[in-house]
Amino acid sequence: MTRLAANLTMLFNEVDFLDRFEHAAKAGFRGVEFLFPYAYRLDDIAARLDASRLELVLHNLPAGDWAGGERGIACHPGRKAEFEDGVGAAIEYARGLGVKQLNCLAGIVPPGVPLEDAYLTLAANLEFAAGKLKSEGIRLLIEPINTFDIPGFILHGTRQALDLIRATGSDNLFLQYDIYHMQRMEGEIAATIKANLPLIRHIQLADNPGRFEPGTGEINYRFLLGMLDEIGYDGWVGCEYKPKAGTAQGLHWIGDHGLHA
């Protein structure tokens, strides 16, 4: 049965971040995810998870100056030390919050940096992070992101991500497959998931166009979510969408698709 995790960066943002855990639990969710925990005390997040009996299934490594437009620094030459410090911070939070997998946002290629240099930097940083996380029993994920929403993002296709995983030689580097992003870049969602299921450890969803909740656009989520059960996907599906008319008002899509939060 599909296990849905509420993305607390995008859902329930009608209330303050630390109050979103309770709202997610009341809506029936048993798992949550979000972009970053680092602006909050670890103990405060842990207390909200415990009080709401929620599992934190995923968050990201630090991604540089997010407010300033950075979307990860793993491909930025000259910031290796900053990236490695970020891996350490992510491990500290993951330990305290019981997180078993972390996502690395690869980043936008910096101006003036040759693409080959950015790729080599990314591969080296992923190899480092995958090794550090493996020693902690934590999986490292990478996520291709569409270049319509984030122009210049270095990792923007499934095949590209799989080649990168092979290039690192790591057995602790896996794919985070975001249906919305890959619908925009590639299509062929069902076939791609089936072909690469052994390397897919987390899936995220949103409809297209608009990145709203399922049922508002062109993606056949009734078919796709049923297929995930049929092929034996046993991970979480993160609800990383923008509520079209408020979080609570839009949650009817779950029942409409024959699911439970």
Active site residues: 143, 240
Q: How many residues does the chain have?
A: 261
- Which residue, 239, 248, 154, 236, is CA-closest to 202? 236
Q: For residue 19, what is the DSSP state? A: G
Give the chain's count of helices (H) and strands (E): 10, 8
Q: Is the dihedral of CA 157, 129, 204, 237 positive or negative?
A: positive
- Which residue, 27, 215, 260, 4, is CA-closest to 12? 27
3-state secondary structure 148-181: CCCCCECCCCHHHHHHHHHHHCCCCEEEEEEHHH
